[in-house]
Chain A
Amino acid sequence: MIEIVFRRCIVVLPTLLIVSMLVFGMQKLLPGDPILTMAGEDRDPATIAYLQEKYRLNDPIPVQYVAWLGQILRGDLGISLRTEQPVLGLIVQKLPVTIQLAAFAMIVAFLIGVPAGIISAIRKGTAVDYGINVVALSGLSIPNFWLGIMLILLVSVQWQLLPASGYTSPFENIGQNLRTMVMPAFVLGTGLAGVLMRHTRSAMLGVLRSDYVRTARAKGLSEKTVILRHALKNALVPIITLSTLLFGELLAGAVLTEQIFTIPGFGKLIVDAVFTRDYAVVQGVVLCTAVGFILMNLVADLLYIVVNPRLRDAA
């Protein structure tokens, strides 16, 4: 077993190396010079020369890459060229915000998508089914930014119920934290709710046609028990699998939502860094994300091996 784990880990290394090259190389392809952005409106030649030297931007790109890689291997992601805060610190500060947003959006998606899917399945072919389908499609098609701005105008400006944007840490004020999270989570969650609704509906339809549901009904169980205790439990299995996949998508979708609601999360960090050519932050954030995904895949691979002895033999 240890040998298998070791072998899998070895396979991960070249992947990580390629990712690091891509992260570094693609950034260099962006038009625009970070030093020009840093040198300010006046673009003083002496300052430009000094900064180029300081950040070793005069060196050939492979030399810069090796230096950067060495730094990463020592656990140093560098400092933000823009604000001089350590990149690792920024990531640690911003990631939980985005994870909270994604988790809340997931809850919203579940609360809307799953019940809608069930109702739509048991009322198949009726006006209710069509109605829910139309709403689900709208959820999928309405752009996040439009829905976000409309919600801000309605809920915050007209009704003055919730703060228009911003973020408060739950450790600072949990009530305010929840208030700032409601609208962004709703905006991010609605798109996903449509997907979940469609999948729940088809899974439920499949299950409702199966023999054990017919048996349950034949036993004389109430329709409520049949649906909730027997059908839904089984229909949920593919939904849960899908949800875990969609969570990654939520993290990506958070980029836009964070921009609209000015939530200082991971997405906003990377977008702002790209616009200001803050190389260190872009590289650090993309690399961390990539490493995160690779590690999750590695863990999943290892878990398969743990639960399935046949794979162990094959490996």
Chain B
Amino acid sequence: MNRIKQLLLVATALVSASSALAADLRIGLQDDADVLDPHRARTFVGRIVFTSMCDKLFDINAKLEIQPQLAKEWAWSDDGKTLTIKLREDAKFHDGATIDAAAVKANIERAKTLPESLRKSEVASIDTVEAVDATTVAIHLVKPDASLLSQLADRAGMILSPKAFETGDFGQNPVCSGPYKFVERIQNDRIVLEKFADHWDAANFNYDKITFIPIPDSTVRLANLRAGDLDIVERIAPADVETVKADANLAFHPVTGTGYQALTFNLKKGDKDTFPIGHDKRIRQAFELSIDRNVINEVVGQGIFQPAYQPFPPTSFAYDKKFEGAQRDVAKAKSLLAEAGVERVKLEIAFGNNTASQQVYELIQAMSSEAGFDISLRPTEFAALQAALKESDFEAGQSGWSGRADPDGNIHQFVSCEGNLNDAHYCNEKVDALLDEARSVTDPVKRKALYDQVQEIIQDELPIVYLYYQPWPFAARANVKGFTAYPDGMIRLRGVSSEG
């Protein structure tokens, strides 16, 4: 009898141990995050960690609409130059201090002035920040900036404990205000967060502990998920999509992201004779007509590389179906080349040396060859590719952008004359004027009309050929309920739980 009792006790202990485990969530990331300071961080995976650790003034929903987070209400002044934010009264930092207007002011000023801040360009339109009272902040702008709310719905709007960043070593021991607080980090191994019981929305967060585990190889990442060692993984390789769908223990959560993959032409290189494609838009148009984005989607993307013809994702208000033109037309491409006075065009494409990119550009090489393009491929390691693009050491180069919720973030820096990321060296004063104007009006309808005009021009001049939208294919264990994939690729754990 005693024996049976003992066995029962052990069984109960085991069951309670496993239910304790069920309250933990393990997430497999593609890379290790960089420094854990939202104002200085640069990696995409870092943003995923911050989403659980650091609350922002605003958030976005799956339709990219601005939602309240630390900000309860907000209003623009009539001239569009002052944003007044009313903060929640019940939000606390992980060190117990209350989040007030002074803390918000200190944070935005830090993002603007800290020498290492990578958020400067995102908050460049902010002139001064005023703490009107304990829970009211007035942000005064240099000029109207319609993209500011979505900037404050990302890292620039994360509110960190001023006490921690003034005194401590913030990047190593971050103190934020999100639903989970920092416990430990072992570089290349894991980042561990635990539930913050005093969070204003704690009731909707069901896990006690979140562990982020970087596993760069997508096959190994998926194997860990299938073995039950992980609960959610990001960026499933297209080749593995079928495996995930076929596994009853897994659920596939793909979403079309806000970013894109594109090919940028170096318009500064050579002249009309030595590098005709950089100096004659008809040749670039012929190139675009020679490729079939649907083939790329079906063959390489296994259906998750949704064709992109414009910088704005379908979820964005700036997106317009009328720009989904340019279907493959080899005959037209050839006639454009003839019109431009060339028969065969040589072009070298530099791209990141990973399997998917290699396949995409090999397809492009084959397809465009039929129209008259002799493409040579230059697979380049990522850091070297970045340098090549920056230093104009390329003819055509792969450019990937993780995307921003506001349309401005997907276009302004890429095609404006002085844009940081204008690797094409494209410059058109009219485009600049339209893009600047689109920044200064807040009405989405008016903004879209301006972006439409920009698209008319750049679709004709084609400094950049958009190929497909960046997908964020997540996979989770089937018992993970309530998980939604967002177009920004972030993992939001509100309402997510594990059953069984």
Instruction: Name A's B-contacting residues (CB within 8 A).
Output: 30-34, 36-47, 50-51, 54, 80, 82-85, 90, 93-94, 149, 152-153, 156-157, 160, 163-167, 259-262, 264, 268-269, 272, 275-277
| Contacts known (A42-B118, A47-B117, A164-B220); A264 close to B227, Cβ less than 8 A | no
Task: Check: B237 CB closer than 8 A to any chain A CB.
Answer: no
Partner of B42, one of A41, A163, A277: A41
Interface string of B13-55 (1 = CB under 8 A from A): 0000000000000000000111100000110000000000000
How many residue-residue contacts, CB under 8 A, span A and B?
Answer: 137
Whether B213 lies near A84 (C-beta < 8 A) is no
A157-B42 in contact given A41-B401, A43-B390, A152-B220 (Cβ < 8 Å) = no
- 25 example contacts (A-B, Cβ-Cβ < 8 A) are as follows A31-B387, A32-B384, A36-B386, A39-B118, A40-B41, A41-B401, A44-B121, A47-B117, A80-B187, A84-B171, A85-B187, A156-B224, A156-B227, A160-B227, A163-B229, A164-B220, A165-B223, A259-B217, A262-B189, A262-B213, A262-B215, A262-B216, A264-B188, A269-B187, A277-B383
> In this assembly, does B172 line the interface, its C-beta being within 8 Å of a C-beta of chain A?
yes
Is the Cβ of A40 less than 8 Å from the Cβ of B217? no
Smallest CB–CB gap between B392 and chain A, Å? 13
B382 interface contact, C-beta 8 A: yes
CB pair B34–A82 under 8 Å, yes or no, is yes
For A149, the chain B residues whose CB sits under 8 A away are: 219-220, 223
Residues in chain B near residue A41, CB distance under 8 A:
42, 401-402, 421
A-chain residues with CB within 8 Å of residue B172 when the two chains form the complex: 84-85
Distance to closest chain B CB from A43 (angstroms): 5
Given contacts A152-B220, A259-B216, contact A164 B189 (CB under 8 A): no
Given A31-B387, A32-B387, A264-B187, A54:B115 Cβ within 8 A: yes
Contact with A along B158-172 (1 / 0, CB 8 A): 000000000000011
A264 touches B35 (CB 8 A): no
Pair A32/B381 contact, Cβ less than 8 Å: yes
A269 touches B188 (CB 8 A): yes
Whether B171 and A165, one on each chain, are in contact in the complex, defined by CB atoms closer than 8 angstroms, is no
A125 to B117, CA, bound (A): 71
- Which A residue's beta carbon lies closest to that of B44? A41
CA distance A84 to B36 in the complex (A): 9
* Chain A residues within 8 Å of B390, by CB: 33, 36, 43
B413: interface (CB < 8 Å): yes
Assembled-state Cα–Cα distance A4/B20 (Å): 63
Tell whether, in the assembled complex, residue A36 and residue B213 are in contact, meaning their CB atoms are under 8 Å apart.
Answer: no
A258's nearest neighbour on chain B, judged by CB, is B188
Within the complex, which residue of A33, A40, A165, A269 is in contact with B118, where a contact is CB–CB below 8 Å?
A40
Q: A264-B186, A264-B187 are in contact. Are A37 and B223 (CB under 8 A)?
A: no
Give the A-binding residues of B (Cβ under 8 A).
Answer: 32-35, 41-42, 115-118, 120-122, 171-172, 186-190, 213-217, 219-220, 223-224, 226-229, 381-384, 386-388, 390, 401-402, 413, 420-421
Contact B387 A33, beta carbon cutoff 8 Å = yes
Residues of chain B lying within 8 A (CB to CB) of residue A40: 41-42, 118
Complex Cα gap A268–B223 (Å): 19
- Give which listed residue, B34, B121, B386, contacts A83 with CB less than 8 A: B34
Contact A163 B227 (CB under 8 A): yes
What residue of chain B has the Cβ atom nearest to residue A268's Cβ?
B188
Q: Hey, which chain B residues are within 8 Å of A39, CB to CB?
A: 42, 118
Kindly list chain B residues whose C-beta atoms are within 8 Å of the C-beta of A165.
215, 220, 223-224, 229
Known: A83-B32, A157-B227, A259-B216. 4 other contacts (CB 8 A): A41-B402, A44-B118, A152-B220, A156-B227
Inside 8 A of B413's CB, which chain A residues have their CB? 42
Residue of A44, A160, A166 touching B120 (CB-CB under 8 A): A44
CB distance from A29 to the nearest CB of B (A): 12
State in angstroms the CA–CA spacing of A30 and B172 once bound together. Answer: 29
Smallest beta-carbon distance A187→chain B, Å: 13
Bound: A36/B118 CA distance, A: 12
**Pairwise interchain contact B214-A47, C-beta atoms closer than 8 A:** no
Q: How far is the CA of A199 from the CA of B213 in the complex (A)?
A: 41
Q: Which residues of A contact B384 (CB under 8 A)?
A: 30-32
Q: Which chain B residues border A275 with CB–CB below 8 Å? A: 381-383
Among B116, B188, B214, contact of A50 (Cβ-Cβ < 8 Å)? B116
User: A93 to B227, alpha carbons, bound, how many Å?
Assistant: 28
- B224: chain A residues within 8 A (beta carbon): 156, 163-166
Q: Are A156 and B229 in contact (CB under 8 A)?
A: yes
Residues of B within 8 A of A83 (CB): 32-35, 171, 187
Complex Cα distance, B188 from A276, in Å, reads 12
A255 nearest CB across to chain B (Å): 13
Q: Which residues of A contact B115 (CB under 8 A)?
A: 50, 54
Task: Give the Cβ gap from A176 to chain B, nearest Cβ, in Å.
Answer: 11
A277 to B172, CA, bound (A): 20
A157–B116 CB distance below 8 A:
no
By a CB distance below 8 angstroms, the chain A residues around B188 are: 94, 264, 268-269, 272
Q: How far is the CA of A201 from the CA of B188 in the complex (A)?
A: 41
Whether A32 and B220, one on each chain, are in contact in the complex, defined by CB atoms closer than 8 angstroms, is no
A259 to B117, alpha carbons, bound, how many Å? 32
Task: Report the bound CA distance from A166 to B212 in whole Å.
Answer: 12
Bound-complex Cα distance A268 to B215 (A):
11
The residue among B34, B117, B402 with the most chain A CB atoms within 10 A of its own CB is B34
Query: Which of chain B's residues have a CB closer than 8 A to the CB of A261?
Result: 220
Return chain A residues, CB-CB under 8 Å to B216.
259, 262
Q: List the 8 closest pairs (A to B, CB-CB), nearest first.
A: A40-B42, A32-B383, A264-B189, A31-B384, A156-B227, A264-B188, A164-B224, A32-B384
Is the pair B171, A90 in contact by a Cβ cutoff of 8 Å?
Answer: no
Chain A min CB distance to B305 (Å): 20
Q: Is the CB of A156 within 8 A of B35?
A: no
Shortest distance between the CB of B292 and any CB in chain A (Å): 29
